[in-house]
Copies of this chain bind each other. A is one copy, B any other.
């Protein structure tokens, strides 16, 4: 169900593709309500970050685990989309995430990358870091399966 990704990936994402993905990202009400930003994309990778606020907190004043999971899922998914757009796009079939440290800090950064790109399925991973007083700390690790569909 997988085919090998093309061996040589270009270093920069095509400008039109980047705008298409940015438009999709900005159409996601949940991410906009949190003030999430798409802060980086190359072919096969994606970085998303968001600032701390009440709307992303849990009961101890840390970043909520669900927010951490959402950011990881989105970063892995957009990483996959950089290799699929404009012909096709992808949906999350499933993901698995380990929370390895509490989300204590002022900024959350998720960095996704494609591990295997196939015709029907893509496997991505993401690491989520929390930034506290300028120091990045790993707080979550995700592995994800995405399902490729024709672009509407």
Contacts and interface: CB of A to CB of B under 8 A. Distances in A.
B100 A97 contact: no
A73 interface: yes
* Stoichiometry (number of copies): 4
Nearest to A72: B66
Interface in A51-75: 53-59, 64-67, 69-71, 73-74
B94 A116 contact: no
A149 B118 CA distance: 14
A138 B120 contact: no
Contacts of A29: 53-58, 64
Contacts of A141: 115-116, 123, 125, 143
6 contacts: A2-B101, A31-B66, A65-B70, A69-B69, A93-B145, A98-B116
